[in-house]
Each structure stands twice: as C-alpha cells, then as structure tokens.
Amino acid sequence: MKKVELFPQSKLLTVALYFLFVIFTISSCVTDIDYTDQTNSIPVLNCLLTNDTVQRLSITRSVKMNDSYIFKEIKEATISLYQDEIKVGNFIRISYDNWQLKYTPLTGKIYHIKVVLPDGQILTATTVMPTMVNIQQNKIIDKFPSKNFIQKSFGSPCWITVVNSDSILKPYSHPTTKDWASTVIGTDHFSADQFNQNGNLLDFLPTSDTPAFDYYIRIKPDSVIDTISFKLQDSFGFHTCICFRTASAEYDKYIKTSMQKILMRSDETDPGIWFDETKVFSNIDNGIGIFAAYYNQYFNYNDDDSYFEN
C-alpha cells in the first residue's frame, strides 16, 4: 500500500495544512493576526477544551510584520477557568508556551476563561463543552475501500479525519505528528458539508463510489430523529485511526473558516487571493485567538493484507 503524501501542494498550503492537522492531533491552534495596528502587540490566546484529564493553553503576543520572530511568549498571567460561575482552577505555565490545568470538562456545561495580564489587561471568552455525537462502527459490512458506521444522535457539528500510521495503534491511542493524514476522503453521509467537496473519489481511488472531500469531512448539525448508516472511503493504510470530533459552535466556526481560507489560497496563481478578506473566526474579548471545546472519539484499525483484497 503506497503512502499518501500529506501535503502535495505549494509550500504556503503545506505549512497551513500542517498546522490544521496539528489542531486535530495535539490540540494546538493557529490564528490569523490582525496587523492593522502596528503600534501595540495584540494578546493571542488559544485554548481548546477536550475530553481529557489535562487541558492545555497557549498565550503569546503578536509581532510586527518586520520582526524576526513569529510571536512573543507571555510568561506571566493569571488564567482562570470557570464552569458556569464556579472557578475550577488556574492554568499553570509548565514550559515554553505551554500552560496546563488538570481538569476534565463536563458535557453540556458552559465554560468561561479569564486572563489577567501583568499590565491589568483582561481577556475573556466563553464556550460550551459539546455532548459527543453517537457514532458506532458497522464493521460486519466493511469491504475495501469502505469503512461503515452508524450515527445515532445529532445536534452538534462533527469533523472527521483519517490518520494512518506505520505502527500498530493501541485502543484509544491518539495519533501523533509522526503519522500522516489522508488528503482526500469520501463519504455518502447525507449531511456532509459540501464546502470542501472536490469531485468524486473515483478520480483518486478505483472502485470507490462517493464524493471526494479535501482533508476533512464536516457533518452538519442537522436535527434528525432516525438512525443513519454511512460509509467512509479512503486508501486506508494497514494501521488507521479515524477521528470523529464533535465540535462546539466556536470550534466549528474556527475550523471551517480556517479551511476556507486555506482552500482559497491553494492556487497561488489565482489573483483572487490578493483580495481575500475572509477572517478566521476568533472569540477572544480584548485579544485574538480561540477558546472552544470538542469531544474526540477514535476508531482504530490494524488490518493485515487480506483486508485489501477485493
């Protein structure tokens, strides 16, 4: 099975998509910086709450266009997390641009973050920890190039990515940046958002029969009562992790606007990118960045050669 290169496009697109892949694998963030005001640096706060025992945060300052480095780390701040109006703890700086809080968010709860900087400036933001969309495997009918699933709940957007590995994946293990993501995924899910649809998967993968989507599939938050069966198609590696990420409203807007901007700039010869005024979503009061939440569900497959026989 030949590996699919993660980012075959231009250098600009390669870097952008790498950072977006990192968002799915190690929960970091990237944010567009507004350089209109070159007199003062802008605080950049990135924090994604997830269904894990430790929450992580990055806080920096933007830099001027002619500076020699990308950002300035903020080393001192009081950063508090609240569930509704009850404080659950403070983030502690562990290492370079790495703040952590030992806490597991509760689904359906409202979370607030408050950052007090040494100069008295205060940053705030709000999000809701989503309830995981109920996805179950339907492996009994799997046949290459399809993996089958059943969706039993709706109401929140869900993002799907396929990550392949050279090594055996253990149950519930997270993918790492050493693994590679599929560049094209197919699905017949009726609620798949078509904003990044790109032809048919048959153009890339013989025997497939679904529309093709660039890098990720976004399942829209439709209100559906019935159980839905659907399939994903890809040139799956022998060790594959499929991640279903239920997103808060803020995280959903952040990922979609990031993808739209990346896809807009995928063709560097298109003069339309010179006039691109689309903004990556941000919800940080008195700063920029993202405070959002998501719930991950992983399905790992460790297949032998026989799986790939028609």
pLDDT score, position 14: 39
Structure tokens at 57: 């945060």
- Map residue 155 onto helix, strand or coil: coil
Distance between CA 35 and CA 62 in Å, rounded?
Answer: 8
Distance between CA 71 and CA 61 in Å, rounded?
Answer: 6
Output the CA torsion 184→187→189→192 (10° steps): 10
Q: Are 111 and 293 in contact (CB under 8 A)?
A: yes
Residue 195 makes CB contacts below 8 A (sequence gap 6+) with 218, 256, 259, 260
pLDDT score, position 263: 75
On the 0-12 / 13-18 / 19+ scale of CB atoms within 10 A, 80 is middle
pLDDT (tens, 9 = 90+) of the chain, 310 residues, equals: 333 333 333 333 333 444 454 445 444 444 444 444 444 688 999 999 999 999 999 999 876 555 545 678 899 999 999 999 899 999 999 999 899 999 999 999 999 999 999 999 999 999 999 999 999 999 999 999 999 999 999 889 999 999 988 777 766 556 665 778 899 999 999 999 999 999 999 999 999 999 999 999 999 998 777 899 999 999 998 889 999 999 999 999 999 998 887 776 555 555 554 444 557 789 999 999 999 999 999 999 987 543 333 3
Beta-strand pair 43-49/288-302: parallel
End-to-end CA distance of the chain: 14
Residue 103 makes CB contacts below 8 A (sequence gap 6+) with 53, 54, 55, 81, 88, 89
Beta-strand pair 146-151/197-200: unpaired
